Structure 1
Amino acid sequence: MDRKKFLKNGLIGMGSIVAIPTVLSSCSNDDNNDNDPDACAPSPSETAGPFPIKTPADLVRENIVGNKTGVPLLINFTIQNTNSNCTPLQNAIVDIWQCDAKGNYSEYSGQLDGNFTSEHFLRGRQTTDTNGKASFISIYPGWYPGRTPHLHVEIKSNSGSSLLITQVSFPENVSNTVYATTEYKGIADTNNLNDGIVGAANLADSVTGDTTNGYTLTKIIKVTG
């Protein structure tokens, strides 16, 4: 995605978010090792959770913030095809959903802070470019009891067939820094080690930035395309 176009689009509808990250990180195939039999294995399959997107085709957008506030987060995914030696998978559909700073999901009732069935914040869909990349402007997710901070992601073929549902977790030192800010509710009650769902392979490849300028998350997701 063109950096100027991304930044221009991202400035629209950011509400009270302070800023977006000033540096875009990139992913590559450099982590593939021909001597490692697991280097091109599919990313772990995980549960969609109790709050999947109900109508993802209606939410094609780069900026998924909606009316929510929090520490800015730019999400950069690279989707790779394990059937083709982990080359970039073009025209894959990437659906993403996450909770807000307080741990609430849109489109459902019975949330920590009320009923959000008529709202669609922090959900979106993008299609990968020729380099297998898709990006979203979001906020750093909060947490809710029993789960470590995470994103939900589903990768689909360009015809709409599901290739993988997975989750992406965050470095705990970054989360602890974010959760000390006013929008959030303190340190999470569950960490990556005792979450029970995500493992080491779910961890973001990198999360860089700060609470003033925001963070950039990068993650390579490998699917059987």
Structure 2
Amino acid sequence: MERKEFLRGLGLAGLGALTIPVIKACSSDDASSSSTSTTDTTQATNTGGSTNTSCSVTSSETAGPFPTKSPSSLVTANIVSDRTGVGFTINITIKNTNASCAVLAGAIVDIWHCDKDGYYSEYGGTSMQSADFTSAHFLRGRQTTNANGLVSFTSIFPGWYTSRATHIHVHIYNASGTSLLVTQIAFPEGSGSAVALVNASTANGYTKGLSGYTYNASDNVFSDSVANEMSTVTGSVAAGFILTHTINVAG
């Protein structure tokens, strides 16, 4: 792995309007953040929004140091496994720039992201990740786009880790299995965003808050390309959140 690629990695959705329950239910209001007091039913303010409206290929990114080792063995829409956290639906639409950005049916989409504590499955026990999850396969999955170019996953809202903003990794292949794009999905940030609300939810196990958090503008993966990697996130801690995102590939 090239040093630049390693450092970028280390710097380290139809369900439509359907909401999903919190994976780990809570009966009381979330803990207050340092600047605002939030409750479970507070609706997220989408301070970003998917802006990749032009018919150009979405930015490519490193797969990072923790890519899925055998993605073909993880064909599933529910990627929660034994992880707990705030409920999360991931809706991703794939479009083909070689066909005037018409939706791309039959594309294979792999996703993976960290748990609420910032840990990845299939890795660990090293200086890069102390917690050893080498035998676990949580928060990783593969789906094939439907006639609307859509894949949907049920998950939990990702946490974060040092030097990286909240994100999801995506690897897209054509129906024959040829790699088309490796990219990442960014999340809206700021007061009232899902990132802020979730990370204030100590009742659901998000205990780090945002102290030491790396924002998109300073993230060495997103800082130069966040515009066409930004998602839309709606919902609340109580009802769960829904991410909607479009990725353009040269299919």
TM-score, normalised relative to structure 2:
0.75
1:171 corresponds in structure 2 to 188
Give the root-mean-square deviation of aligned CA atoms.
2.3
Decide which of 192, 203, 217 is 1:193's aligned counterpart: 217
Kindly tell me the number of residue pairs found equivalent between the two proteins.
202
1:217 corresponds in structure 2 to 243
Alpha carbons 1:103, 1:112 under 8 Å: kept: no
Alpha carbons 1:95, 1:126 under 8 Å: kept: yes
Alpha carbons 2:123, 2:129 under 8 Å: kept: no
Supply the distance in 1 between the matched residues of 2:112 and 2:25 (Cα, whole angstroms).
19
1:203 Cα deviation from its structure 2 partner: 1.0
1:93 corresponds in structure 2 to 108
Superposed structure 1 runs of 4+ greater than 4 Å apart: none
Supply the distance in 2 between the matched residues of 1:148 and 1:15 (Cα, whole angstroms).
22
Supply the distance in 2 between the matched residues of 1:59 and 1:83 (Cα, whole angstroms).
29
Alpha carbons 2:69, 2:122 under 8 Å: kept: yes
Give matches, 1:18-167, under 5 Å: 32=53, 39-109=54-124, 110=126, 112=129, 114-167=131-184
Q: Where in structure 2 are there 5+ consecutive unaligned residues?
A: 1-12, 27-51
TM-score, normalised relative to structure 1:
0.83
Alpha carbons 1:15, 1:67 under 8 Å: kept: no
Supply the distance in 1 between the matched residues of 2:25 and 2:151 (Cα, whole angstroms).
22
1:203 corresponds in structure 2 to 230
Supply the distance in 1 between the matched residues of 2:76 and 2:25 (Cα, whole angstroms).
18
Higher relative contact order (CA 8 A, sep 6+): 2
